[in-house]
Amino acid sequence: MAFSGGLGIRLDLLKMPYEGAKVDRTNAALLFSETPSRFLVEVEPSHREEFENALRNATSACIGTVIADDEMYVGGLSSATVLRVRVSELKAAWQTPLI
């Protein structure tokens, strides 16, 4: 979405559902855990209520929003910034060969 649409995203890890020992709830665990069935979905604001109703029996949360700026921002558990980077920089790195 961000790369092809030229859009950005603002995420708030404080809003992310989490089950487990509180001591294990870290920014890194929330961002990179391989917990089964975790996915991020982009939904038009006009369809939010319908989408949330469809997921009413599943653990889910709105943890962010799409923005028009060329920025990916992730706020952490302590309200500190975990990541703030231009989406165009991420896309350029992704498209650059590793060699």
- Residue 12: φ, ψ to 5°: -125, 105
Q: Across the chain, what does the average pLDDT equal?
A: 89
For the chain, what is the domain count? 1
Q: Give Cα 98 to chain centroid, integer Å.
A: 25
Range of the domain at 18: 2-95
Q: Which amino acid is at 30?
A: L
CATH of the domain at 91: 3.90.650.10
Q: What is the value of pTM for the model shown?
A: 0.81
Q: Which two tokens stand for residue 4?
A: 């092809």
Contact 14, 77 (CB under 8 A): yes
User: Residues 72-87: what's their mean pLDDT?
Assistant: 93
Which residue matches tokens 């469809």? 54
Residue 8 pLDDT level (bands cut at 50, 70, 90) = very high
- Using the predicted structure, report yes or no on whether residue 36 has a pLDDT greater than 80: no
Residue 40 pLDDT level (bands cut at 50, 70, 90) = confident
| Rounded distance between C-alpha atoms, residue 40 and residue 30, angstroms | 12
Contact 48, 62 (CB under 8 A): yes
